[in-house]
Structure 1
Amino acid sequence: MTSSPWQRRQNAPEPDPMDDAFTLGRRLNALRKSRRMTLAQVSEAIGVAISQLSLIENGKRDAKLSTVQALAKLYGVTLDALLAGPTTKRTQLEIELDGFMRSPLATSRGLPPIRVGPRTPTDVLEAMVALHREVLRLSEQHIATPEEARRANTVLRGQMRDRGNHYGELEAKASELLRAVRHDGGPFTTKDVNALARHLGFEVRHVDDLPHSTRSVIDLRNHRIYLARQASTVGHDQRSVLLQALGHHVLGHTPPADYAEFLAQRVQTNYLAGAITLPEAGVVAMLRAGADARDLDVGDIADAFKVSWETAAHRVTNLTTRHLGFPLHFAKVHETGTVYKAYENDGIVFPMDPTGAIEGQPVCRQWASRQVFERGVAEGEAFHQFTDTPAGTYWDSVRVERTAGGRYSIALGTDFVNAKWFRGRDTRVRTRSTCPDEACCRRPPTDLLAAWGGQVWPSARARTHMMAALPPGAFPGVDETEVYTFLQAHEADG
């Protein structure tokens, strides 16, 4: 989605001075002029040709470390001071402008570079930098429309389907981290998570004033991770929240350039957290044993690793197709009947809008995800059902879980042929869905329509996410000012 109009977090680069020839060259040029020395005098003092010095100062050639050390000594500054930052306001402007002109943002906007020389007036540099800053600011205000977000999610879901929802590189990273903390293969406890944080160089702090728009905040400057106290966090396993925060660091994430990258990063950190909490080897062993006995059940895995049924079901979708060879589908549906998130590689057809997105779409009343509510199944109680659909017959195992946002049904299922591997396949509950045929469940029954048709004018409850654009900023939904204020307040904490 490189052409998406969603906000472009393409800041001017901030290169390491040792690696950026232009930045270092500008600093050396400024130091030489402040000492009122000519290139010829510097050349004679350190034994480097004038032509080489000129190329270095103009950023057209990398300087050898020995040359940089000699220049620092000649100018009477330490190597650290030379590499620490610009020495004059003009030098700072030149470096910042060069960074802006070379940025992807300037290229994508067709902004032509200008040649900056000794005679370029400082006020011109100031004006150019100010203009580039404004372009960047306006670019960062760009927001994704709901349609763009749905399209991005559709593309990502397709990629997940193509690989059977299995990410080998993330499994390998999880195994590496588990070995680092000498995990024994059982449940990954809070103690284990904290040990991993310490291994990665972070201190975990629980606070009462965590910004309301966040689940965690990483302070990269002081190597701290802030979490809300357990009592104030609803619907989130603190282990997963911390592991997801660490995941951004471990995977080397940078502020996302567009909404597609934001979603991909979320998937990666969630996957890594799951792979650590439910290690591949242990889960696969349970899957194989369950399938061999034709008694596979997500609840057994949830109990063994001390996680929610939803977390275990997610993990089963990661590993089953890869290791056991049969397809699955997963759906999280709100009690109102709308899809919150879903995945499939077994051919089941979820309801979708013209963009291919399924989020927010109503699920057929005959599907297990809705029937579990219609039949009044208690939270946490097992519910199994076969559903005949135009795409085939599917079996589902469903649980209802409550979160801060209400009750959700969590369904894990497969096609009729592969239901034989699961506990609950002997259910006698079977329904028939003909959706998207409106006569299935979207058109009122004849008797009700005759009794009430034309006699009712209901006022729909508007769902703001249907119309509102996504929040701007590098991290959608996060109030950056609130986060910075929070970190400033905790900066001096011992």
Structure 2
Amino acid sequence: MSPLQNTVPDDESMLDTLTIGRRIRKLRLEQGMTVESLGAKISRAASQISVIENGKRELKLVELHKLARALGTTLDGLLQPEPLSRRDELEIALERVQRGPLYQSLHLPPLPIRKGLSDAAIETILRLHGELEQLHTQRAATPEEARRANTELRAEQRQRDNYYENLERIAADLLSAIGHSGGPLSQRATAELSAHLGFTLHYVADLPVTTRSITDHRHHRIYLPVRQTGTDPRSALLQAIAAYVLGQPEPQDYGDLLRQRVETNYLAGALLVPEMSAVDFLSRAKNARELSVEDLRDHFAVGYETAAHRFTNLATRHLDIPVHFLKVHSSGVISKAYQNDDVQFPADPLGSVEGQRVCRWWSARQVFDVEDRLSPYQQFTDKPVGTYWCTSSIQSAPNGDFSVSVGTQFAHVKWFRGRDTRRRLTSRCPDPTCCREPSRDSSTYWNGQAWPSARLNSSLLAAMPDGSTSGIDKVDVYEFLDRHASTHSTRD
């Protein structure tokens, strides 16, 4: 097996910053140009050209056009998918490996890629990395499979800026069908939407505990719980409607289950907060430099988490603002995460973010120390990759308190209300001395004198129920449907 097989994407036409940067360097050298002369042609400093050639910055289309002209080629010529030299491929693969979560988890110093580093040495490093990656994969149990699926889906979401155009179009068509012209979606309109699709609603007290709703396609009924404490009463119904509209089959694995849930939740959110109305509202707020998740929540009468999710769907595509999103348990453990603003979440060697503990100096954890839980909490945080601004809010759920945070890079905070906050902290994570290790004095004093009893999450010890990907008890579901279909004398 070639050492490149575990490091180079299967789709060779999918160019990344490393490949583009290497091609720019190759064309520059062929032209006999220095970084200074190329920088002068596009009005950039030589240091910025070096950053570009080293693949450490994503380029906008306008910049690519300028570089292509300066290098005497076309945009297609600059982005051509043909492979580079064998040496270039090896160097790109090694750089990609060093930027990956597995290599970084080893806490090894960066390995400079110089001419003196032979091809054989690079191939050896890549082979060892591939074997180590395979070993982690082989040892992975069911929870790790779920985390890998999460990692893959999060990468896809980042690539599309967490915006699903087809789902936005479906939501717009559904809302148009019931004459909803914009603004908040009322409970009455939600019921009209189910009637438009041919379903009647039935609120019952004996819904199986493993379900949020049950859709009976045979009799065109949607069953919902009588009591929906702590949740938006529209949410479960819209998710059931979304699953029906999308025609989702029973998931075959956790990856299928996760993708279906993301698409279902996205469509439900797009119905609650319609794109056209939301973009108009957010655009006006941006122009006034008053962007606020709280205002989006209040305007569309949704929960804070729904508003935060919806903001990430629309912020980059329509407002040109990269963002990140975090849902963090009071223990500091990440429940959900998304980013396209290059913030660095804590990750395990396989790149999984969910289940990792976020830095205690981030807004997502600092908000738990604030007594006032009604007012928005904002904070600047100086991180190894730059300064970020976040707004956070605490949401209570049956399984505990969670902070929901939306943040962006310092350059984009000018559009947000709360940018004048004086809270500013510093995070050195993933450096373990930042907040993961006790002080030397505390360690000396308490070493061998403290023995805490851990609270284990039972889900860490159990796989999915046998024969079920979703964890739903089909016996309960089918018995439930039989009971509630009793108005029909025989099964159809």
TM over 0.5: yes
* Partner secondary structure for residue 148 of structure 1: helix
Q: Which residue of 2 aligns with 1:224?
A: 221
Q: Is 1:153 the counterpart of 2:150 in the alignment? A: yes
For 2:393 and 2:418, the matched residues in 1 are separated by 13
For 1:314 and 1:473, the matched residues in 2 are separated by 32
**Higher RCO (Cα < 8 Å, 6 or more apart):** 1
Give the conservation status (yes or no) of the 8 Å contact 1:219–1:487: yes
Q: Which residue of 2 aligns with 1:193?
A: 190
For 1:165 and 1:299, the matched residues in 2 are separated by 20
Q: Is 1:204 the counterpart of 2:201 in the alignment? A: yes
Normalized against structure 1, the TM-score is what?
Answer: 0.69
1:479, CA displacement in angstroms? 0.9
1:487, CA displacement in angstroms? 0.6
1:144, CA displacement in angstroms? 7.4
Which whole-Å deviations, capped at 9, do the CAs of 1:205-252 have from their partners, x for residues lacking one? 1000000111000111111000001xx323322211111111111011
- Aligned partner of 1:280 among 275, 285, 293: 275
For 1:257 and 1:212, the matched residues in 2 are separated by 22
For 1:419 and 1:382, the matched residues in 2 are separated by 15
Q: Is 1:368 the counterpart of 2:363 in the alignment? A: yes
For 1:297 and 1:426, the matched residues in 2 are separated by 13
Give the conservation status (yes or no) of the 8 Å contact 1:379–1:401: no
Give the conservation status (yes or no) of the 8 Å contact 1:388–1:431: yes
Amino acid at match of 2:340: N
Amino acid at match of 1:292: N
* Partner secondary structure for residue 438 of structure 1: coil
Normalized against structure 2, the TM-score is what?
Answer: 0.69
Amino acid at match of 2:180: H
Question: Which one has a bigger Cα radius of gyration?
Answer: 1
- Aligned partner of 2:485 among 473, 487, 491: 491
For 2:361 and 2:166, the matched residues in 1 are separated by 39
1:453, CA displacement in angstroms? 1.9
Give the conservation status (yes or no) of the 8 Å contact 2:254–2:469: no
Q: 1:152 to 1:227 in 2, by over 3 A?
A: same
1:198, CA displacement in angstroms? 0.4
- The number of equivalent residue pairs is 349
Q: Is 1:170 the counterpart of 2:164 in the alignment? A: no
1:393, CA displacement in angstroms? 1.0
Amino acid at match of 2:265: N
Amino acid at match of 2:245: V
Amino acid at match of 2:376: A
Q: 1:227 to 1:399 in 2, by over 3 A?
A: same
Structure 1 segments unaligned to the other structure (5+ residues): 1-142
1:262, CA displacement in angstroms? 1.1
For 2:443 and 2:141, the matched residues in 1 are separated by 40
Q: 1:472 to 1:355 in 2, by over 3 A?
A: farther
Structure 2 segments unaligned to the other structure (5+ residues): 1-139
Aligned-pair Cα RMSD in Å: 1.5
Amino acid at match of 2:474: E
1:475, CA displacement in angstroms? 4.7
Q: Which residue of 2 aligns with 1:98?
A: none
For 1:157 and 1:283, the matched residues in 2 are separated by 24
For 1:338 and 1:388, the matched residues in 2 are separated by 21
Aligned 1:52-63 pairs, distance under 5 A: none
- Aligned partner of 1:320 among 310, 315, 340: 315
Identity %: 50
- Aligned partner of 1:471 among 465, 474, 479: 465
Q: Which residue of 2 aligns with 1:411?
A: 405
Give the conservation status (yes or no) of the 8 Å contact 1:146–1:470: no
For 1:145 and 1:447, the matched residues in 2 are separated by 40
Give the conservation status (yes or no) of the 8 Å contact 1:166–1:319: yes
Q: Which residue of 2 aligns with 1:182?
A: 179
Q: Is 1:393 the counterpart of 2:379 in the alignment? A: no
For 1:482 and 1:166, the matched residues in 2 are separated by 36
